[in-house]
Chains A and B, each alone.
Chain A
Amino acid sequence: MNKREFLKDAIVFFPAAGVLSALSSQAAGKDPSAPATPGYDPTDHWYGMGIDVDKCIGCNRCVEAARSRTTFRTSRSSSARGWSVTRSVPTARRLSSASARSLRRLTRSCRGSKRSAHILVPKLCNQCAHPPCVQVCPVGATFQTKDGVVLVDEKRCIGCRYCIQACPYGARYLNPRTRTADKCTFCYHRVTKACCRPASRCARRRRGYSAT
């Protein structure tokens, strides 16, 4: 083998070896949906969250709690985005009792003859059972666990923002630090450790469901 043939083979061999090793390490890697806590069976649970809109006063303590108990969210604007929004409802229409109570609590605004009441609606990832963000992810970074929580593997995410566009609730954002998609995780790292205290403690309720 002369020098020219050696270099020619080396050019083909080394990239191919690198690709093969990367594929094998990815295949041998852990399933991202697998829980970190031993003894936790995700098939026994199906998580959801209940929000009593009538009790929410918009204090944003849930946002602060979620920010303080996660280590990956460093941006104030990104973590606070979409958690609590106000919707303007014309008071010409008859409001429900909840809306009427919110109307008494919150700011009233008058615009000519029309008045509008601002109603707080805490918004977060709805953890859809049929999540469109999972369907559009080209690299499988967004996945759904067996207990129904939609998570993002930031090691796989390439930041293409397809999931941000696909989310009908506007619950996703691009983490400015990691440049990957991010979202509410239902504090999955806490509930899988049987720590049922949610990050938010006021009007929100969240529990894992026991299997029957």
Chain B
Amino acid sequence: MKGRADRLVRFERANPISVLKPDLNTEPKVLYAKLDGEVR
């Protein structure tokens, strides 16, 4: 996640991003857009 103009960075800015199980602090790199808050 080094380039600010990258396609995935734009995707991250344009959508509400969430990851699975963020409390584990594993820093997952699969980003889910518009994921329902109930799904973890």
Contacts and interface: CB of A to CB of B under 8 A. Distances in A.
Interface of A: 44-54, 87, 89-90, 93, 95-99, 119, 121, 123-132, 148, 168-169, 205-207, 209-212
Interface of B: 1-9, 11-12, 15, 17, 19-21, 24-39
B3 A53 contact: no
Contact of A129 (B7, B27, B33, B36): B27
> In terms of DSSP, what is the predominant structure of the interface of chain B?
loop
Interface centre among B8, B15, B20, B36 (most CB of A within 10 A): B36
Nearest to B29: A48
B27 A128 contact: yes
B6 to A, nearest CB: 5
A48 B37 contact: no
B35 A205 contact: no
B6 A207 contact: yes
A129 B29 contact: yes
Interface centre among B19, B24, B33 (most CB of A within 10 A): B33
Contact of A126 (B1, B3, B11, B29): B29
B3 A51 contact: no
